[in-house]
Amino acid sequence: MVPVLPVVLGGLLGAGLLLVAAPFLWPVRERARPRLRALERLREHLTLAGLPSVTPATFIAVTLVVGLVAGALTLAIVPVLALALTAALAAAAIPFVVVSWRSRARRRHYRSLWPDVVDHLVSAVRSGLSLPDGLSALASVGPAGTRSAFAAFERDYEATANFAYCLDQLKLRLADPVADRILETLRMSREVGGTELTSVLRGLSAYLRQESAIRSEVEARQSWVVNAARLGAAAPWVVLLLLAGRPEAAAAYNTPGGAVLIVGGLAVTLVAYRIMLAIGRLPEEQRWFR
């Protein structure tokens, strides 16, 4: 008769080894996730930047066209191949920089509006309105920057009467972590019930006001770091463009050594610029309720 304990221990050991080796044996799905996350992040930035109708594929195609045009123009004006490639890469990054800047600016603007939105919701709940009606009322009485999104919610709810689905669509339109927290609080209150919704919303409103004030003060004090990073990154390339306009300098930069110098300078500039931005920029809140 076979002992039971060694069999059980051997089975548990085999199961543990299988679980440890599982990420290495079946990594296909895990490799696909970063690409999907990058596309989702780009779609969120486009939505928050005020470009919800632009797809990530269209945006990437536009960046490639901009990079090719900038590279061709640079090569026609300054006959340095390495400098033309650098200009193409820099021009292709400009749309990403513009979208990122617009999304951060709109997020800062939204950050000052969310306490007023929460106050309107508290007033609606205390007056006896249902949660869908309270959200729909924000299309007319809420802050001007958010009325279009809540008007779309009102149309969706009138068409479907599905509160959960309309909340998901509203989260996609707003694409903001604070909005996710507010809407998920409303979803939980509607599904679970309770009498503490107004207290929770009041506490959230006070916290958002305090966080917005502190973040604005810190960003104002650290803005000089970001401006110094931009100036330090742009100044050497302006000097390089001026030097490359001379024929003897263009001939020197067209050599392998000149190409290595330009590529190395580009790498150093990118690394230094990213480090300066990391030092001078506050971390943004992540979206946990997608």
**For range 201-214, the mean pLDDT:** 83
Task: Give the pLDDT band of residue 75 (cuts 50, 70, 90).
Answer: confident
- CA contacts within 13 A on the Cβ side of 248: 0
**pTM score > 0.75 for this model?**
no
Burial profile 165-203: b = 16 or more Cβ within 10 angstroms, e = fewer: ebbebbbebbbbbbbbbbbebbbebeeeeeeebeebbee
Size of the chain, expressed as the number of residues it contains: 290
Q: What is the pLDDT of residues 110-168, one digit of tens each?
A: 888 888 888 888 888 888 888 888 888 888 888 887 888 889 998 988 888 888 898 88
Instruction: Say how far residue 57 (Cα) sits from the centre of its chain.
Output: 17
List all residues 6 or more positions away from 50 whose beta carbon is below 8 Å from its beta carbon.
Answer: 102, 106
Q: DSSP readout, 92-113?
A: HHHHHHHHHHHHHHHHHHHHHH
94 with 102: CB under 8 angstroms? no
- Look up residue 284 and give its DSSP letter: P
Quick one: pLDDT at residue 290?
60
Question: Is residue 24 pLDDT above 60, yes or no?
Answer: yes
Q: What is the pLDDT of residues 44-69, one digit of tens each?
A: 788 777 787 888 888 888 899 999 99
List all residues 6 or more positions away from 126 whose beta carbon is below 8 Å from its beta carbon.
Answer: 198
Question: Is residue 33 pLDDT above 60, yes or no?
Answer: no
| Helices (H) then strands (E): counts for the chain | 11, 0
Q: CA–CA distance from 156 to each of 150, 161, 227 (Å)?
A: 10, 8, 43
Q: Which of 157, 229, 234 is nearest to 190 (CA)?
A: 157
Question: Is residue 2 pLDDT above 50, yes or no?
Answer: no
Cα 89 to Cα 91: distance, rounded to the nearest angstrom: 6
Residue 151 burial by Cβ neighbours in a 10 Å radius (0-12, 13-18, 19+): middle
175 with 44: CB under 8 angstroms? yes
Q: State both tokens at 12.
A: 């548990």
What residues does each domain of the chain span? 64-280
Provide the residue type at 54 as one letter.
Answer: V
- CA contacts within 13 A on the Cβ side of 196: 6
